[in-house]
Amino acid sequence: MEKQIPFPAGTTAPRIPTADQIRRAPKVLLHDHLDGGLRPETIVELAAACGYQGLPTTDPAELGVWFREAADSGSLVRYLETFAHTCAVMQTREALIRVAADCAEDLAADGVVYAEVRYAPEQHLEAGLSLDEVVEAVNEGFREGEAKARANGYRIKVGTLLTAMRHAARSQEIAELANRYRDAGVVGFDIAGAEAGHPPTRHQGAFDYLKGENNHFTIHAGEAFGLPSIWEALQCCGADRLGHGVRIIDDIVVNEDGTVELGRLAAYVRDKRVPLEMCPTSNLQTAAASSYAEHPIGLLSRLKFRVTVNTDNRLMSGTSMSQEFGHLVEAFGYSLDDMQWFTVNAMKSAFVPFDERLAMINEVIKPGYAELKAEWLFGSSA
Ligand SMILES: O=c1[nH]cnc2c1ncn2[C@H]1C[C@H](O)[C@@H](CO)O1
Ligand SMILES: [Zn+2]
């Protein structure tokens, strides 16, 4: 019988990456919260060290499950309540160093080669640290974690984003802090917290200040609240990127015949190549999306928006970069080429200087994917 050749000679079917390939593929993470990514066992140890009695359980496995379930409420406000426990154990220099070092090691072991990890320094002052001391401890932890990862055969570079909480009133101070440390581990600024009722324009002074300093910032927008929040973040505040931005889908109409119409704001976001920091699992937990298969990331990617894949909070979502990609591969049949596209999108959108982004794309990301894509040639000897 004649051999079936499903694709034209010289081409191959797009291969579905295995879980192991997904983990080994170089990945870039732009949206990950330091206080949302602790290892459960680290929380238990730090709570014992600082005398924090408020944990729902001191069994690490149970604690991991508790965070995931508590964050599964379908409400961003309830989701955010779980951070009281992680912030409670991140109040000393030693604790911050430990959490940041663990973070770099965990991301590196998961194949992340470049990450921008964010946290709100104002949430780590309860035991008397100053804002500067918080930043210095976190930076020290990341350098330690990068070195440990290197010793274990992984390569990762981590920059931080300093977050101001949108319901609070310290954004100017935090923006100045980000500017002070911009050549010392901090690559930008962010605002986070409950979105509804706290428009980003409340922090206009901080954004204007950062613009004046030619600094970079992203804004959580279009997650729990829709298009007006995205519009304000871009057109009033001047955000360089959007944290989540999933609700941009509200400005896109898919007709019955499959044609697509973009509203003015969606067209602007696509035309200007505004990076969207999408976090699929987090969006399912806060009801910003209803399933992986229906997550707007599928349509937005097809329409070639500047989409990136992120974790948001690895602890609360029980996830990792590899798991986020695993879900998308399963839902949309993405190949290694698709993964490379998301990864290059992310690296292009990072806040480190252009020459570093280019080197990371050309010297690390593209060769990494080329290597993985060639593995099938060598069969089990690869
Ligand atoms: O997805 C989010 N939306 C808004 N705020 C968030 C999200 N994930 C974490 N945060 C908040 C809670 C953290 O304590 C804070 C700083 O990392 O940022
Ligand atoms: Zn976030």
| pLDDT tens-place values along the chain, 382 residues long | 444 445 555 566 667 999 999 999 999 999 999 999 999 999 999 999 999 999 999 999 999 999 999 988 888 888 889 999 999 999 999 999 999 999 999 999 999 999 999 999 999 999 999 999 999 999 999 999 999 999 999 999 999 999 999 999 999 999 999 999 999 999 999 999 987 788 899 999 999 999 999 999 999 998 888 999 999 999 999 999 999 999 999 999 999 999 999 999 999 999 999 999 999 999 999 888 889 999 999 999 999 999 999 999 999 999 999 999 999 999 999 999 999 999 999 999 999 999 999 999 999 999 999 999 999 888 755 4
Q: Does some domain include residue 54?
A: yes
Beta partners for residue 162, in sequence order? 119, 189
What pLDDT is stored for residue 9 in this prediction?
A: 54
Q: Does some domain include residue 31?
A: no
Q: How far is the CA of 192 from the centre of ligand 2 (A)?
A: 7
- Number of the ligand closest to the Cα of 103: 1
Binding residue per annotation — 220? yes
Minimal-distance CA residue to ligand 1 atom 18: 192
Q: Does some domain include residue 14?
A: no
Q: Does some domain include residue 20?
A: no
Q: Does some domain include residue 291?
A: yes
> Is the beta carbon of 242 within 6 A of some atom in ligand 1?
no
What pLDDT is stored for residue 2 in this prediction?
A: 44
Q: What is the 3-state secondary structure (H, E, C) of 75-98?
A: CHHHHHHCHHHHHHCCCCHHHHHH
> Is the beta carbon of 192 within 6 A of some atom in ligand 1?
yes
Binding residue per annotation — 85? no
Q: Does some domain include residue 120?
A: yes
Binding residue per annotation — 193? yes
* Structural domain boundaries, residue 354: 39-373
Q: Does some domain include residue 298?
A: yes
Q: Does some domain include residue 13?
A: no
256: Cβ contacts below 8 Å, ≥ 6 apart: none
Point out the residues that are catalytic. Answer: 223
Count the Cβ atoms, other than its own, within 10 Å of residue 333.
10
pTM, full prediction: 0.95
Give the chain's domain count: 1
CATH number at residue 229: 3.20.20.140
Q: How far is the CA of 342 from the centre of ligand 1 (A)?
A: 23
Beta partners for residue 254, in sequence order? 260
Ligand 1 atom at minimal distance to the Cα of residue 286: 1
Minimal-distance CA residue to ligand 1 atom 5: 193
